[in-house]
Structure 1
Amino acid sequence: MDLEGATAAAAQLLSALGLDMDSDHRRDTPARMARALTEMLRAPSFEPTTFDNAGGYDELVVVDRIPFFSLCEHHVLPFIGEATIAYAPKDRIVGLSKLAWVVQLYARRLQTQEAMTQQIADWLVEQLDPKGVGVRLRAEHLCMSLRGARAIGAVTDTTTNRGVLADDPARREEWQRRLSS
């Protein structure tokens, strides 16, 4: 990322919006803005720790209420929410904290919530080759709360299901029950 270029562009944008950038409080705002956006768009690196499913665990593994924020690619405003991730293991299981890390990995970019939901599911399928995966994201979009419709508190809910959580009616129903509890 070009932090110097981003700072100059931020200064131009803020000036073009009619803001006086010479006050003590705003003089360094373009640099702070550029650093903040850089931080929000830089994905963390982590090693996906997986383990042999030696015990043959065959039930859903669900991690709920994983907090995240991301940036809407249409307005560059945050959407803030929680993720719920489920998978039905086959040969491998994953370290539970890695499920929170994968949410952060895909949250740190300009995107839609729908795309982020699918990216998380794709990662789990690629890394674990599980019997099934379910991902649910619930988020408030500030582009909808702070501007336009000003629908403060409205929550967008997206889900995607793969494998047995999409194809097996009993497993899909179990996942759906977990989401409603």
Structure 2
Amino acid sequence: MNVTTEELDALQELINIGVGRAASLLNEMVDSHIQLQTPFVKVLTLSDAYEELAPRFRDESLATVRLGFTGSFYGTAGLIFPTDSASTLVSVLTGEEAGSADLDAVKISTLSEIGNIVINGVMGSLTNVLKQHVNYTLPIYLEDTIENLLLSSDESNSKILLAQARFAIEQLEIIGDILLIFLVGTFDVLINAINEELQII
């Protein structure tokens, strides 16, 4: 299914709403003011997503939080950022010094919580506005290369909804990518639900 400009604009608006909600929740958790923005949203195949991201992340170990979802549509959602940026983000949020022995101890739990908040914000926006229902698995944290994260997937025919999430924290900018992966059939369900909502508005 090809996505029209109007459908892509609607997807970006829904993701922006979800990211905004996630930023509000993160701001409640920490003293720092956090801004989250999504400069772009793209719909890609797994191989195209790899070609897009590989030049930026080739041979780099990435910190990833992902969870599965089932229901009206199903697949995997993940929040990905370079490991160094992840460590910096955790350091800012927890007060642990970058490079300290204690940082790794809190990194996994902190990033899992951040990933859970951001992913649930985005998925909640999609499902609430489109009046769909999904169930989530528990978030999983892992570190791996972009090649293994994308090309090892069993869902080779999946469509990827790729949204770049830009974090701005007290003049410190950290960039991460939100990857929403849908099986082709259920991606069509998502687009059809968007078109139904567009007709109502």
- Normalising by structure 2, report the TM-score: 0.25
Rg larger in structure: 1
| Larger relative contact order (CA 8 Å, sep ≥ 6) | 2
